[in-house]
Structure 1
Amino acid sequence: MCLSADIGELPVQGKTAALVGMPKLVIFDCDGVLVQSEEITLSVLISMLNARAPGSATLDVTRFIEHFRGRRIAECLREAECILDIHLDNEFEQHFRQRALDALTLDLKATDGIVEVLDSLQVPYCVASSAPRSKIEHCLRIAGLFSYFEGRIFSCYELGRWKPDPLVFLTACDTYDIAVSDALVIEDSVTGIQAAVAANIRVLGFGPPHRRAQLAAAGALPIADMREVLAIFN
């Protein structure tokens, strides 16, 4: 989906309704869309990586939260090894995941407005995430959203292919017997948006105003408030 250069000239809700139309399936990403987990987990990861870094060669937290957002953790670790010139043992990812789960248990919250959106949707919806199923379910339970998505979870780990590969979105459409032209993806990361674009599925990019240009450049229509999704169905 290509966005026009004048996207900022119209109110987001009106532009959203006009561009997207009425979807028959809504596919949510989990981290950063349903729950506000990316900053928590990636802050833990970057802190652990910097603790292994020699001297002053460390990763800037703000920059690398954005850089790693939506990507497979194993891929992030390989890149960090090259940047920091370090070797991570086989147990590093396991330790990270446990510390991240502990941090999520303390601080994770559902995205503002998501319950209102889910309660209002009259079409099928699901979650399609690059995270392992165990993490998806853990996050949804902590945030009080698991009852909405039980039996509606698609994990890249179970498919063996990760975003920006489109398979997880295509699998969701196939499962619900919905054409990609009738689906809508809501993502917060460039990687996830690229996966939706590769699947030929229309995509909303959810994030704060300062990320609007980044999300639009990746191929999404940016929204800053989750409730804007409801404009599509008016």
Structure 2
Amino acid sequence: MCLLADTGELPVQETAAALVGVPKLVIFDCDGVLVQSEEITLSVLITLLNALVPDDAMLDVTRFIEHFRGRKIVECLREAEQLLNIRLDSEFEQYFRKQALDALTESLKATEGVIEVLQALTVPFCVASSAPRDKIEHCLRLTGLFSYFEGRIFSCYELGRWKPDPLVFLTACDTYGIDVSDALVVEDSVTGIQAAVAAHLRVLGFGPAHRHPQLVAAGALPIADIREMLAVFN
């Protein structure tokens, strides 16, 4: 995979367009790429966890949004138990999911420019996410994106393996009959990028400029605006 040495803000032609070859399939992550949900759901999670411990033991919200980004929730909960020296009861995960769903329903928005991108693409595209299918579909419906992805959704929960395992991306490529060398992944998390790299897929790391160094270090070319990815097709 070809990476750029400069990890600062780069012109479009020097980021996405640096990828060689026009993709025949685009695989989007959902949370943090198509919709801006990671900050909402993880803020809810960390707030609920912090309510269980003294002030001096609380998790830093900004740091742990990044730390938990793109990871399986059960894995995050097990790590939080160790970090906070607590034991979560069997109902905590379901309570969190209900609170997160309410927060998403109230505040979730599609990523700026994403509909423009979807309408401009002339190759097949799909979504491959570590989230459960019902959450993926709920987020897409809330933001007016479901019609673009109906019948094009791949969930790690249905495969039993989660990113950074590459299976969800490999399954998408197999379903479309596309070689991994002809597909492009758009991810916002280190975990997702690691999954794409493990599958030998080209990957764009989407996020604000201050996150670009970690996205590049994981193996992605960085973009700060989702519309920058269209440079690949020019």
Q: What is the CA–CA distance in structure 1 between the aligned matches of 2:167 and 2:61, rounded to whole Å? A: 30
What residue in structure 1 maps to residue 217 of structure 2?
217
2:86 pairs with 1:114: no
Q: CA deviation at 1:21?
A: 2.4
Structure 2 unaligned residues grouped into runs of 5+? none
Q: How does 1:61-140 map to 2 (within 5 A)?
A: 61-140=61-140
1:215–1:221 contact (8 Å) kept in structure 2: yes
Quick one: structure 1 residues 134 and 60, their matched pair in 2 at CA, closer, same or farther if it must change by over 3 Å?
Answer: same
Quick one: structure 1 residues 9 and 154, their matched pair in 2 at CA, closer, same or farther if it must change by over 3 Å?
Answer: closer
The residue type equivalent to 1:195 in the other structure is A
Q: CA deviation at 1:56?
A: 1.9
What residue in structure 2 maps to residue 156 of structure 1?
156
52-61 or 98-107, which moves further after superposition? Answer: 52-61
Q: What is the CA–CA distance in structure 2 between the aligned matches of 1:5 and 1:45, rounded to whole Å? A: 36
2:7 pairs with 1:3: no
What residue in structure 1 maps to residue 27 of structure 2?
27
Please give the per-residue CA displacement for 1:165-205, whole angstroms capped at 9, x wherever unaligned.
00000000000000000000000000000000000000000
Q: CA deviation at 1:8?
A: 4.9
TM-score by length of 1: 0.97
1:189–1:205 contact (8 Å) kept in structure 2: yes
Structure 1 unaligned residues grouped into runs of 5+? none
Q: What is the CA–CA distance in structure 1 between the aligned matches of 2:79 and 2:20, rounded to whole Å? A: 36
The residue type equivalent to 1:91 in the other structure is E
Q: What is the CA–CA distance in structure 1 between the aligned matches of 2:4 and 2:105, rounded to whole Å? A: 41
Find the residue that maps to 1:56 and give its secondary structure: helix
Q: What is the CA–CA distance in structure 2 between the aligned matches of 1:125 and 1:182, rounded to whole Å? A: 12
The residue type equivalent to 1:53 in the other structure is V
| Amino-acid identity (%) | 80
Q: What is the CA–CA distance in structure 2 between the aligned matches of 1:230 and 1:64, rounded to whole Å? A: 31
The residue type equivalent to 1:221 in the other structure is L
Q: CA deviation at 1:7?
A: 5.6
Q: What is the CA–CA distance in structure 1 between the aligned matches of 2:18 and 2:84, rounded to whole Å? A: 46
Please give the per-residue CA displacement for 1:113-157, whole angstroms capped at 9, x wherever unaligned.
000000000000000000000000000000100000000000000
Q: What is the CA–CA distance in structure 1 between the aligned matches of 2:9 and 2:129, rounded to whole Å? A: 32
Q: CA deviation at 1:12?
A: 3.2
Q: What is the CA–CA distance in structure 2 between the aligned matches of 1:55 and 1:45, rounded to whole Å? A: 16
What residue in structure 2 maps to residue 45 of structure 1?
45
Number of aligned residue pairs: give it. 234
Q: CA deviation at 1:16?
A: 2.0
2:114–2:227 contact (8 Å) kept in structure 1: yes
Find the residue that maps to 1:23 and give its secondary structure: coil
2:181–2:200 contact (8 Å) kept in structure 1: yes
2:166 pairs with 1:166: yes
